[in-house]
């Protein structure tokens, strides 16, 4: 028995930073699901060879990878009470990314969502009763347990994760596709990922989230996220790119400000990150073309812009921003349609 899923990465507009309990977010976040940056994972059930409770044979891009294997084994062990077949088979899991691992773009969202989708598909084949319309929501719940941001990757377009009084159906347990009726000017939103530095991050997301527990600005941060989310929802419906840009940049800079002012403190931007940010702001002021930047917990810059200025922005990236990128590397991506099951 084998299943394969290809699942995309996502980039948060409203950031998830800070969590409690078993992978529950301290604020609601909203992201754009990407198209090209994705992970393809297959799960095959084989006859057990050892007496180990959970037997995982994991390969990443064809090679054994003990660090990933350990993370996956811990995750699967936490699920085996719900899915008893996890301990009665040897699990062969093969995974590969559409982007080079060394590019330094976060892959936990795409990899954990792809794995969660494989686990849930197999569970259904093993007899679990699940209404088809519940499949992605339940998959999101399992993805969240592997990596919080991964639950947003199971939906196309925009996804929202975390309880908020702004949306009745929002939940801490899984994401929802939201908003579904956004303005056509946000359709096919472009995301060009400028690789400023491709190395390992100096702080894991898990350690980063933990810093929020004692952060002196934590309460203000969660209040800001709530206010910005409220405005963003209106903006996505009305097509107001200008306000979209100011919210998106404020969120990215606040995330980094929180890291800079935590104890210990981390500066994850590089000089070239700031150089790119300045160039983007000047270009926007000079041309009035809507474009903005966002960052995840690292130095690389995501440039967001509408499809109707694609030509102008790509020319700008090629002529003015490439010199700040490691090996002139840019990944051109855009809003995506969500995960797909790959048929054997």
Judged by beta carbon, residue 172 or residue 296, the one nearer ligand DP6 is 296
Least spacing, CB of residue 99 vs ligand DP6, in Å? 16
In angstroms, rounded to a whole number, what is the distance separating the alpha carbons of residues 44 and 57? 10
Q: Does 296 bind ligand DP6 (CB under 6 A)?
A: yes
Interface with ligand DP6, residue 15, by CB under 6 A: yes
Q: What is the DSSP letter of 276?
A: H
What is the closest distance, in whole angstroms, from the C-beta atom of residue 339 to ligand DP6 in the complex?
16
Place of tokens 């030509």: 311
Structure tokens at 169: 């159906």
Among 12, 28, 247, 292, contact with ligand DP6 (rule: CB under 6 A):
12
Nearest approach in angstroms of CB 290 to ligand DP6 is 22
Site for ligand DP6 contains 205 (CB under 6 A): yes
Residue of 4, 141, 149, 294 interacting with ligand DP6 (CB under 6 A): 149
- Alpha-carbon span 285 to 299, nearest angstrom: 23
Indicate whether 297 belongs to the interface with ligand DP6 (CB under 6 A): yes
Number of residues binding to ligand DP6, judged by CB under 6 A: 17
When the beta carbons of 24 and 309 are compared against ligand DP6, the nearer one is 24
Residue pair 326/197 in contact (Cβ under 8 Å)? The answer is yes
Pairing verdict, β 292-295 and 301-305: antiparallel
β-pairing, 175-177 with 63-64? unpaired
**CA gap 141, 153 in Å, rounded:** 11
Residues 58/39, Cβ–Cβ less than 8 Å: no
Candidate segments 16-24, 113-121, 166-174, 266-274, binder of ligand DP6 by CB under 6 A: 16-24
CA–chain centroid gap for 54, Å, is: 27
Q: Does 164 bind ligand DP6 (CB under 6 A)?
A: no
Residue 120 CB partners (closer than 8 Å, separation 6+): 128, 130, 135, 138, 139, 142
Closest CB to ligand DP6 among 75 and 316?
75
Return the residue of 20, 52, 206, 230 that touches ligand DP6, per CB under 6 A: 206
Closest CB to ligand DP6 among residues 15, 279 = 15
CA 280 and chain centroid, separation? 23
Least distance from C-beta 162 to ligand DP6, angstroms?
10
Measure Cα distances from 271 to 57, 120, 318, 321 in Å: 41, 43, 19, 13
Tell me whether residue 29 or residue 190 sits nearer to ligand DP6 (CB atom): 29
Instruction: Give the integer Cα–Cα distance in Å for 43 and 80.
Output: 15
Least distance in angstroms from the C-beta of 121 to ligand DP6? 22
Under the binding rule (CB under 6 A), the answer on residue 108 touching ligand DP6 is yes
Could you say whether residue 8 binds ligand DP6 (CB under 6 A)?
Answer: no
- Using CB under 6 A as the binding rule, whether residue 113 contacts ligand DP6 is answered as no
The smaller minimum CB distance to ligand DP6, of residues 42 and 300, is found at 300
241 is a site residue for ligand DP6 (CB under 6 A): no
Q: Note whether 119 and 5 are within 8 A (CB).
A: no
Segment 22 to 41, residues that bind ligand DP6, using CB under 6 A: 23, 29
- Pick the piece of the chain touching ligand DP6 (CB under 6 A) from 76-84, 115-123, 202-210, 213-221: 202-210
CA angle 328, 336, 303 (to 5 degrees): 35
Nearer of residues 108 and 137 to ligand DP6, judged by Cβ: 108
Angle between helices 135-146 and 66-79 (to 10 degrees): 130
107 is a site residue for ligand DP6 (CB under 6 A): no
Phi/psi for 331 (5° steps) reads: -110, 115
Contacts to ligand DP6 by CB under 6 A: 12, 15-17, 23, 29, 106, 108, 147-149, 205-206, 209, 255, 296-297
């Amino acid at each position: 028995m084998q299943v394969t899923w290809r699942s995309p990465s996502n980039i948060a507009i409203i950031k998830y930073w800070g969590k409690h309990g078993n992978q529950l977010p301290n604020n609601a976040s909203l992201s754009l699901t990407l198209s090209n940056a994705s992970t393809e994972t297959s799960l095959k059930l084989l006859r057990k060879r050892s007496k180990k409770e959970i037997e995982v044979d994991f390969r990443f891009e064809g090679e054994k990878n003990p660090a990933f294997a350990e993370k996956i084994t811990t995750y699967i062990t936490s699920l085996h009470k719900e899915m008893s077949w996890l301990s009665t088979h040897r699990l062969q899991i093969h995974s590969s990314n559409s982007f080079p691992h060394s590019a330094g773009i976060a892959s936990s969202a795409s990899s954990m969502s792809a794995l969660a989708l494989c686990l849930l598909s197999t569970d259904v084949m093993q007899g679990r009763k699940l209404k088809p319309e519940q499949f992605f929501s339940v998959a999101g719940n399992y993805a969240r347990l592997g990596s919080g941001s991964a639950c947003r990757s199971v939906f196309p377009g925009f996804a929202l994760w975390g309880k908020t009084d702004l949306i009745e159906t929002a939940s801490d347990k899984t994401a929802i596709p939201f908003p579904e009726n956004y303005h056509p000017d946000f359709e096919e939103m472009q995301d060009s990922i400028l690789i400023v530095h491709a190395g390992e991050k100096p702080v894991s997301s898990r350690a980063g989230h933990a810093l929020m527990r004692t952060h002196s600005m934590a309460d203000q941060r969660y209040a800001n996220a709530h206010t910005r989310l409220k405005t963003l929802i209106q903006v996505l419906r009305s097509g107001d790119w200008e306000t979209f840009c100011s919210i998106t940049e404020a969120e990215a800079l606040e995330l980094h400000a929180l890291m800079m002012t935590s104890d210990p403190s981390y500066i994850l931007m590089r000089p070239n990150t700031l150089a790119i940010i300045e160039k983007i702001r000047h270009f926007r002021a000079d041309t009035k073309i809507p474009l903005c930047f966002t960052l995840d917990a690292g130095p690389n810059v995501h440039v967001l812009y509408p499809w109707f200025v694609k030509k102008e922005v790509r020319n700008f990236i090629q002529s003015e921003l490439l010199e700040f990128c490691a090996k002139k590397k840019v990944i051109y991506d855009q809003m995506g349609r969500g995960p797909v099951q790959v048929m054997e």
